[in-house]
């Protein structure tokens, strides 16, 4: 089973996650989240499979997030609006996103990767 691993090469968290995947001999396809961001439909599917609130998909510590003043918007906008915003710019998406097509993790916590991807 090959994983899709949406990451940003300059992101320290992504590098840690990638190292974990390599150290655990995971078969994965790395996708540059800024050059090839997931489409609105892909994001909707990832969100639905993740079981997480949609606002967890936002890179809240990113410069772009602050510039666009999304802090209040994520609490009031519809899912459709939020998916539209997320799909507009890979830098707005929390990373890495890892999926096997049925399970999804967002960000990197070693314990979560152990439970989900080992």
Q: Which domains does the chain have, with CATH numbers?
A: 3-117 (3.40.30.10)
DSSP secondary-structure letter at 89? Answer: -
3-class secondary structure, 86: helix
pLDDT digits (tens, 9 = 90+) for 31-90: 999 999 999 999 999 999 999 999 999 999 999 999 999 999 999 999 999 999 999 999
DSSP label at 25?
T
Alpha-carbon gap, residue 105 to 99, rounded angstroms: 7
Number of H helices, E strands in the chain: 6, 4
CB of 45 closer than 8 Å to CB of 95 = no
């Amino acid at each position: 089973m090959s994983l899709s691993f949406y990451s940003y090469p300059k992101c320290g968290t992504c590098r840690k996650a990638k190292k974990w995947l390599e150290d655990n001999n995971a078969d994965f396809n790395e996708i540059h989240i800024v050059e090839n961001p997931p489409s609105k439909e892909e994001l909707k599917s990832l969100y639905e499979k993740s079981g997480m609130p949609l606002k967890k998909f936002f890179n809240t510590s990113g410069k772009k997030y602050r510039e666009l003043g999304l802090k209040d918007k994520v609490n009031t906008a519809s899912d459709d609006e939020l998916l539209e915003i997320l799909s507009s710019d890979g830098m707005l998406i929390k990373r890495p996103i890892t999926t096997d097509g049925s399970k999804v993790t967002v960000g990197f916590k070693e314990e979560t990767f152990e439970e989900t991807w080992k």
